[in-house]
Amino acid sequence: MWNYSKKVIDHFLHPRNVGEVEDPDGKGEVGSLACGDMLRLTFKLDAHGKIADARFKTFGCASAIASSSALTEMVKGKTLEEAAAITNKDIADFLGGLPEEKMHCSVMGREALDAAIANYRGQGNGKTRTLEGTVVCKCYGVTDKQIRDVARANDLTTVDEVTNYTKAGGGCGLCHEKIQQILDDVNGQTEQAPTPAQRAHEKRAKGLSLTNLEKVHVIEDLIDKRIRPALRQDGGDIELVDVDQNVVYVRLKGACRSCPSSGHTMRQFIEKEIHKEVSQSIRVEEVRE
């Protein structure tokens, strides 16, 4: 049996702020029923830009309920900047500590808050699972960026610790080697040569023009890390077909292929993301055959 603090038990048996805020200013949802934990957080700001109300709904264990309850209490009365400064450690400390095996519940709360604030700022639809990075743990859908962020914030050094904080590696175990490589990199134990995409980014940062091949590397990296994960949130996908100077040819897949708003997605999302990373002169064209 887990050794829960009195405060964890109190917030589990008597959770505060259960439900959803009506007409919320921000909403964030993380996790999934398939993974065993899911959390939806909503908040409303007052006239001074402070969080007047915050509520949650969660599917999970006692630690998930307690962590969500605690978080909603902690953010009330704070500005978004102050709320964003709350770490998963702060949530655990507020509760008098959590079992190491349950620290992922505090991380889930932290991610839900990030998602809700990003949603308020117009930076997402409130669902951030795998929005950034490449999926490392396929069993639980955890990305390399999530592992890096949590490892840095909590000084993690072992695969077991990563599993406790993110669930990554807690399924089939095939990702353990990759997780350890990420930990070694985060803790400065390995030196990795820059990827072609990183070298191209460095060249562009110096104001130098990119070759066509370098553009391909940057666009492939952008699609893998930001564009594809966002499209997959709504059942879509994308494939890079070719890059010809300032014209990028892509093939939309899944739900995006038949979506009546695909043209809007091409111009207002995909093309704008590529403009930021490559050049304002880039034009994106869809290949349908």
Enumerate the active-site residues.
35, 105
Query: H-helix or E-strand containing 29?
Result: strand 26-32
Q: Which residues contact 204 (CB under 8 A, 6 or more apart)?
A: 210, 218, 278
Using CB atoms within 10 Å of the CB of residue 212, give its burial: 0 to 12 exposed, 13 to 18 middle, 19+ buried.
Answer: exposed
Q: Provide the pairing of β-strand 135-137 with 236-244.
A: unpaired
| β-strand pairing of 283-286 with 247-254 | parallel
**Which residues are CB-contacts of 82 (< 8 A; sequence separation ≥ 6)?**
none
Per the listing, tokens 């007052």 go with: 46
β-partners of residue 79 are 50
Task: Say which DSSP state 137 is in.
Answer: E
Q: Which token pair is 145?
A: 């960026």
Biggest alpha carbon–alpha carbon distance for the chain: 63
Q: How far apart are CA 30 and CA 205, in angstroms?
A: 34
**155, two tokens:** 């000084």
SS3 84: helix
